Structure 1
């Protein structure tokens, strides 16, 4: 059961998950076969993603200036019109788990298929999805923050050119990844005890 920080309603897609004023609630994430998990507070990359999500001035929009700042922070000089879902994930991961090998072509999604170690899809995992067709070079990468029967609820960048919550179909999942230097993915969050 979890709630997102107070903020204007994000657009997370059509039913079965609806958006509330403060973001999706555990009650909304448990309708129509949806399973909600309690958020872990020991995942610093998720804390950084939520900080960016909550801090951004216009709801759901990561400004061109912020995208350029993220690129500058990691040392990339890329046109801001390129897909940047991996850039958002890379920024969050680099800020908190610097020992892990961030993919060389970080802004793209597919290079994240080899990051860290494979895990089952779960809260905080990096999920990589295919686009167009399963073997295409195109994809999407973001952080898993919930799931329904048929979809994963993802927090990420470049989701309709914005930083937002969005549903992605489970059948498009390529892999779920976890940083090698992160907390044990199977462990319970001990920071709340």
Structure 2
């Protein structure tokens, strides 16, 4: 899924800096300093200081400049972080990809080997790196634990989707972000899909829950309906 989100975030960082709000390094990555700069700007304008660049904050920053395409929406920074990481893979053979270990260290998660399923770790990283006030579930490595994350939400870009794996009544699961849907499958942007961060199709019948961060306003974008395809269903994401 081609992304202009990096350029969008760079534009936000540039204009924050020009207005005197320090976003840190202008790198197109949504981190804690960028979030803090947005909050400071929002407070200066009497806006709700949630650190999210929704339509009102976008207009305060850019005036009447055209908003970005739905998929590049800066109001879902965790989803943009997920898109940035497409292609990251676990290490084949002995040892682990240090990128994954770094995600765990920064999120305060006990994780020392990418042989351990890491779909929950990926989601935890994307959320914690972009939403500083958001609480993670008690066991973020457990996919089904994400059914207790945030609040119930619609299936729209950036929503956290929780699936059963093996058996609906078992304990195995998978978690990732909603990236669209066709008539029979959700398109899921997640980690540990083919041992990498990727987008895959998962049968709609496997869905357990759709969640939304408690600290981020819902975008109201609704479902993103894509053309039916004949690509395979993912059946085992570990």
Matches within 5 A, 1:1-193: 3-5=1-3, 38-39=70-71, 41=73, 42-53=75-86, 59=87, 61-63=89-91, 64-78=97-111, 79-186=113-220
Q: Summarize deviations over 1:88-146 as a string: whole Å, max 9, x none.
A: 00001011222222012111201100111112212110000001111111100000111
Bigger relative contact order (CA 8 A; separation at least 6): 1
Q: For 1:94 and 1:127, locate their aligned partners in 2 and report how far apart those are by CA, in whole Å.
A: 17
More helix per residue: 1 or 2? 2
Alignment RMSD: 2.1
Q: For 1:5 and 1:109, locate their aligned partners in 2 and report how far apart those are by CA, in whole Å.
A: 26
Q: For 1:40 and 1:145, locate their aligned partners in 2 and report how far apart those are by CA, in whole Å.
A: 12
Q: TM-score, normalised by structure 2?
A: 0.59
Question: 1:168: Cα distance to partner?
Answer: 0.6
Q: Summarize deviations over 1:19-63 as a string: whole Å, max 9, x none.
A: xxxxxxxxxxxxxxxxxx94251201011111222xxxxx45255
Higher Cα Rg, which structure:
2
Q: For 1:163 and 1:62, locate their aligned partners in 2 and report how far apart those are by CA, in whole Å.
A: 9
Q: Is the 8 A contact 1:43 1:183 kept in 2?
A: no
Deviating 4+ runs (over 3 angstroms):
none
Q: For 1:50 and 1:62, locate their aligned partners in 2 and report how far apart those are by CA, in whole Å.
A: 17
Q: For 1:187 and 1:122, locate their aligned partners in 2 and report how far apart those are by CA, in whole Å.
A: 6
Q: For 2:162 and 2:2, locate their aligned partners in 1 and report how far apart those are by CA, in whole Å.
A: 22
Paired residues, number: 151
Q: Is the 8 A contact 1:90 1:106 kept in 2?
A: yes
Unaligned regions of 5+ residues in structure 2, if any?
Answer: 5-68, 92-96, 223-238
Q: For 1:117 and 1:156, locate their aligned partners in 2 and report how far apart those are by CA, in whole Å.
A: 20
110 and 136 in structure 1: CA distance in 2 versus 1, 3 angstrom threshold: same
187 and 5 in structure 1: CA distance in 2 versus 1, 3 angstrom threshold: closer
Question: 1:66: Cα distance to partner?
Answer: 1.3
Q: For 2:88 and 2:107, locate their aligned partners in 1 and report how far apart those are by CA, in whole Å.
A: 22
